Amino acid sequence: MNHSLTPIDFESVLHSERTFGKSFRLNETMSDHQAPFTIRPTGESSFAADVFKSSFFSRGKYIFFFESYSGEVRYDSDSPENSAVSLTLETASVVCRDPAIKPEKRREIVAMMKNQLLACESNGHVTFTSTRIQRKEGNRYVVEGSLGFRGTKKSASIELTLIKLGADRLEVDGSAQLKLSDFGVTPPSGVKDEVQVRILLWPERAQMRRAAS
For the stretch 57-100, pLDDT in tens is 567 999 999 999 999 999 998 999 999 999 999 999 999 999 99
Q: Provide the pLDDT for residue 35.
A: 83
* pTM of the model as a whole: 0.79
Indicate the average pLDDT of the chain. 85
Asked if the model's pLDDT at residue 21 lies above 60, the reply is no
Domains along the sequence of the chain with CATH: 36-205 (2.40.128.110)
Q: How confident is the model at residue 11 (pLDDT cuts 50, 70, 90)?
A: low
Q: Provide the pLDDT for residue 10.
A: 43
SS3 sequence of the chain: CCCCCCCCCHHHHHHHHHHHHHHHHHHHHHHHHHCCEEECCCCCCEEEEEEEECCCCCCCEEEEEECCEEEEEECCCCCHHHCEEEEEEEHHHEECCCCCCCHHHHHHHHHHHHHHHHCCCCCCEEEEEEEEEEEEECCEEEEEEEEEECCEEEEEEEEEEEEECCCCEEEEEEEEEEEHHHHCCCCCCCEEEEEEEEEEECCEECCCCCCCC
